[in-house]
Structure 1
Amino acid sequence: MKQQFLFSFSFFIFFLFFYCTTTLAQSPAPAPGPAPPRGPTNVIKILKKAGQFKTFIRLLKSTQLDSNLNSQLGNTNNGLTIFAPSDSAFSSLKKRTLSSLTGQEMVELVQFHIVPTFISATQFDTVTNPLKTHAGSGGRFQLNVTTSGSSVNISTGLTNTTISDTVYTDDHLAIYKVDKVLLPLDIFTPKPPAPAPALATTKTKAETPDEEEDEVHKDTSGAFGGLWGQLQNGV
C-alpha cells in the first residue's frame, strides 16, 4: 500500500513537471514593444571625441549652427550629412582666406559643408548632382560627388578632394572627414560688376557751352555798346 502511494505521488510530480515545461515552451514570446525614442544627437560632442576638428567646431559655434543642427536632427526624418574639414585642411588655406569673409559669408561657408539629407557610404554613387546644401544648390553653390570604387571625390569648382574617413554614422546622421575646406564659387570668386548707371544726356541751358558763351557775349557787347555810345556823345 505504501509503495503504491509513493508510485502514484511520483507519477503525479512527473506529470505536473512535464505539463508545466510543455506549456511554457509553447507559450508565444511577448511581442516587441515600440522602439525607444531617439536620444538627442550632439554633433559637437561627436567631433570632439573624434579629434582633428577644432577649427570646424569653433566655426559651428561662432555661427550658431551647432544648436541648429542638433535641433534639425531631432525634428526631421531626412537626417543630415556633414563633410567635416580637418584642422590640417584649414591650416593649408592661404592667408586671409577666412579673415576676409563677412559674417554672412562665414555662415554660408559652414552651411556649404552640410547636406540636409542622410547619405550612407554606399549611396554616393546614386545621388543626383549637384547636391543641395544648407547654403543653396546649383549655380555658384555647386557641390558634385563622383565615385570610383570605394573612393568618393568632391568637387566645388574651386576645390577637389576626397572623403578620407567616416567619422560617425548611424541611420540618421553621417559625418565624413575631408582633407580640404570646400570653397564655393559664390564666395571665393569675384562677382560680376554691376552695370554702370546711364549718363544724363540732357543739359540745362546754363550747362550748354554755346549758349553760355552767347549769354556772356551778349552781356559784354551790350555793356561795351553803351559805353561806346556815351563816348561818341562826348560824355
Structure 2
Amino acid sequence: MAISVSISHITPITLFYLLLLLLLSSTITTTTTTSALNITSILSSFQNLTSFSSLLCSTSVAPDLTRRDPVTLLAVPNSYLSTSPSSDLTRRLPPSSLGDILRYHVLLQYFSWSDLRQIPPSGVLVTTLLQTTGRVHSNFGAVNITRDPLTNSITIQSPAPFSPSNVTVLSLIKTLPYNITILAVDSLLVPYDFNLLASETRPPLGLNITKALIDGHNFNVAASMLAASGVVDEFEADEGGAGITLFVPTDDAFGDLPGNVKLQSLPADKKAVVLKFHVLHSYYPLGSLESIVNPVQPTLATEDNGAGSFTLNISRVNGSVAIDTGIVQASVTQTVFDQNPVAIFGVSKVLLPREIFGKDSAGVTSKPGNAVVGTTVQPPETSPSPENSAGFSGPASHLSSPPGFREEITSKGGRYRMQSCIVTVCCIGLVLVV
C-alpha cells in the first residue's frame, strides 16, 4: 500500500520534469538550427533601405544570401544611394555588373558592433561573396576593415594599395547574433581593378547542362542520371548569381564502381544527394581550383544537410587537381565546359560521400575482396594555411573560407552542448530530490 501511495505521488511530478526536460532540449535544438535568412524581409522594415533592398532583388543577389551564414551586409541608405557616385553606378551599369558590386558588400563573417570597435588600426582582411565567384584577381574580392584609434570611425576598402574606392560605416542597422549584421555605409564600394563591363560578356543564363554533357562525349551515364533525377533543373537555376561548378564522372568511372557500391539501388532522394555532392555553388575556373588555399569546400548537398557534411577536399597533387571525399580520391581529367558562370569538369571517379557510402552505410554492402573505392588511397597533400601562404602578391585564391567561420561554428556548438548538459543535470537532480 505504501508503495502504491509513493508511486501515485511521484509519477505526476516525474512526468512534469521529464516534459520540461524535453521542452528545453527541443528549444536548444531549435536554436542551433540555422534557418535560411530572408535579407529582403529584414530590410523591408527600414524605410531608408528600400532602394538598396530593391537592388538586391533585381540583381538576383538576394537568393544568394539565403544560403550564407554568417554574413555582415553593408547597406547603402536611400539618401546616399541617390547621390553621386552611387547613383551613377546604379543608373549606367547592367544588372550583372551591379550584382557583382553588391556581392562585394556581403562580408562572409559576422561582426557585432563591439567586434568592429576592437579592430586594430592596421585592419583585418575579410572575404566577400564576390571573392567566391572567381571573377576577381588575387584577393581583390576581399575588403580591408580599419578603425581610426582617435575617432573610432570604421573604414572599409579594397586591400589593394591606393584603392580609390572606400566607404565609412555610418551606423549599426540590425544584428541577429552570430548570424547576420547589417551596417549602413555612405556609398557603394567598388572592388579594385574591377572591370565594370566584364559581366556583360557573360553568356546568357540557361545552359542546357544535359546537352553539354552529351556533346562532351563519355558522359552519357551522368547525363541520364541528372535528367532522371530532376536535380539538373536546380543546377541550371543556380547558374545565376555566383554560378556553379560541376564535377562529372566519365562513363568509365561509373563502369569502374566496385560491386559493393549500390549507386543505382539508392532511393531517389539519396541519389539526388549524391549528384548534388558533385556540385559547388560558385563558378570556379580551373586556375582557381589549382591555386587553392583552403581545401575543404561545401557542396550543394552541404546546403541541404548542414554545415560540415558532404564536403569535398580539393587540392593540387602531382600537377593536377585532386578531389577527395574521404573514401574516394578522383582527379580532374578534362574541361567539358568553362564559360562564366558555369564550369563543368570531367573527373576520373564517381565522388562517393562518406555519409552514404562510408563503413556500415546503406549504400555499401560488405563482400570479401570488394573494398570501397579509395579506402587505401593516401590523403592528398594539403595546401598551406592562409597564415603560411603567400601574401598579397601571392597566387590567386578564390576558395578560402572567411576568417573565423569554422571557429564561430565550433564555439556556438560548444555553448549549446554545455547548456543542454546543464539543463539535463538540473532536471534529473530535481526528479531525484522529489
Which protein has the larger Cα radius of gyration, Structure 1 or Structure 2?
Answer: 1
Aligned pair 1:78/2:242, yes or no? yes
Root mean square deviation, CA, Å = 2.3
Task: Provide the C-alpha distance between the structure 1 equivalents of 2:342 and 2:265, rounded to a whole number of angstroms.
Answer: 32
Residues in 2 aligned to 1:138 and 1:77: alpha-carbon distance in whole angstroms: 21
Q: Distance in 2 between matches of 1:162 and 1:130?
A: 15
CA contact (8 A) 1:42 1:70 kept: yes
2:329 aligned residue (160, 168, 192): 160
1:75-95, Cα deviation, whole Å (9 max, x unpaired) = x22010000000110011123
In structure 2, relative to structure 1, the CA distance for the partners of 1:99 and 1:170 (3 Å cut) is: closer
- Structure 1: how far apart are the matches of 2:202 and 2:253? 36
Separation in structure 2 between the aligned mates of residue 37 and residue 56 of structure 1, nearest angstrom: 26
User: Are residues 166 and 37 of structure 1, via their aligned partners in 2, closer, same or farther at CA, if it must alter by over 3 Å?
Assistant: closer
Q: 1:77 to 1:127 in 2, by over 3 A?
A: farther
What's the CA shift string for 1:12-43, capped at 9, x where partnerless?
xxxxxxxxxxxxxxxxxxxxx98478422111
Report deviation, 1:149. 6.2
- List gaps (5 residues or longer) in structure 1: 1-32, 192-235
Q: Secondary structure at the match of 1:98?
A: coil
> How far apart in 2 are the matches of 1:64 and 1:147?
32
2:286 corresponds to which of 98, 121, 124: 121
Paired residues in the alignment total 158
Structure 2 gaps, min length 5 = 1-93, 95-196, 362-434
Please tell me the residue identity of whatever aligns with 1:67. D
1:109 match: 274
Give TM-score scaled by structure 1 length: 0.61
* Seq. identity, %: 27
Q: What is the TM-score normalised by the length of structure 2?
A: 0.34
The code of the aligned residue for 1:130 comes to: V
Aligned CA distance change for structure 1 residues 46 and 127 (closer, same or farther; 3 Å):
farther
Contact 2:246 2:345 in 1 (8 A): yes
Q: Taking structure 1 as reference, are residues 127 and 108 closer, same or farther at Cα in structure 2, changes over 3 Å only?
A: farther
The structure 2 residue matched to 1:142, chosen from 311, 314, 336, is 311
8 A Cα contact 2:325 2:354, kept in partner: yes
Q: Give yes or no for contact 1:109–1:135 (8 Å, CA) kept in 2.
A: yes
- Residue type matched to 1:71 in 2? A
Partners of 1:91 and 1:37 lie apart in 2 by: 36
Q: 1:29 — aligned with what? A: none
C-alpha deviation, 1:138, in angstroms: 5.9
Which residue in the other structure is 2:399 paired with? none
Shift in CA distance, 65/150, structure 1 to aligned 2, threshold 3 Å: same
